[in-house]
Structure 1
Amino acid sequence: MNFQTIQAAEASELLKQNLAAVVDIRDPQSYQQGHIKGAVHLDNDNVRAFIDQQDKQKPLIVCCYHGNSSKSAAQFLVEQGFSEVYSLDGGYELWKAVEPDWCE
């Protein structure tokens, strides 16, 4: 099984209906400056705990800067047992342009 890519509009609908979780894999400073509402900052220090505690059946959206790094992270999460993983096309840079009300 592999991850899929997802457009911001589709991801937004999943999040607004609470049908998906979102993780942000950017560096801590970028995450602090702004991120998708409800996003969990994921890094090497907390990834194992996240994998152990997260519902692996709930769709998971992975966000990075531009939608490139999130692809390898999404594939890694699929390999850890998550059933439905998406890489956010365009990353946070596109997200904040098209979904500014869903940033914090």
Structure 2
Amino acid sequence: MKTEEVGQSILETWTVDEVAQAFAEGEIVVIDVRTPQEYMFEHIEGALLMPMAFFKADALPGQSEKRIVFHCGSGVRSEKVARAAIEAGMARVAHLEGGFGAWKGAKQPYIGTNMATGAPHRVT
């Protein structure tokens, strides 16, 4: 994990392996900041959706029990949202390096869309 001090806060950049392990162990909440359309087409199973366009730091849950890790398609939007969360007063924020593209590239499971039927299905 890479860390960067931003004022009094810390911005963490997690690898796919770090996110996958912590998510599997129930240690983190993954928040997808892509559009609803992107999320519906394919997403990390169990990730919550809070599109960047509608991001409200005060609507985020506290991090006393589970840490928050943001992700998007490539890591650009999730880093912007993480920095916005820091500006809103969060002390420690994380995002997924490389985003959903890196997640898929690492062959992690996700929910995709069956193009023949339009139905969601698990991709492993």
Secondary structure at the counterpart of residue 69 of structure 2: strand
Alignment TM-score, normalising by the size of structure 2 = 0.71
Residue range with higher mean Cα deviation, 78-87 or 54-63: 78-87
Ranges in structure 2 where 5+ consecutive residues have no aligned partner: 1-8, 112-124
**Going by fraction, where is helix more abundant, 1 or 2?**
1
Alpha-carbon displacement from aligned partner over 1:48-101 (angstroms, at most 9, x marks no partner): 3x7335123331111011111211101112333434321111100110221432
Q: TM-score, normalised by structure 1?
A: 0.82
Among 95, 98, 102, the alignment partner of 2:103 is 95
Which residue does the alignment assign to 2:58?
Answer: 51
The CA deviation at 1:37 is 1.6
Q: Which amino acid aligns with 1:51?
A: D
More strand by share: 2
2:44 is the alignment partner of 1:30: no
Q: Does 1:67 align with 2:75?
A: yes
Please, which runs of 5 or more residues in structure 1 have no aligned partner? none
Asked if 1 retains the 8 angstrom alpha-carbon contact of 2:72 and 2:78, the reply is: yes
Count of aligned pairs between the two proteins: 101
CA shift in 2, pair 1:53/1:89, >3 Å: closer
Q: Percent identity?
A: 25
Please tell me whether the aligned partners of residues 67 and 91 of structure 1 are also in contact (alpha carbons under 8 angstroms). Answer: yes
User: Radius of gyration: which is bigger?
Assistant: 2
1:20 maps to 2:28:
yes
Whose relative contact order is higher, 1 or 2, with alpha carbons under 8 Å and at least 6 apart?
1
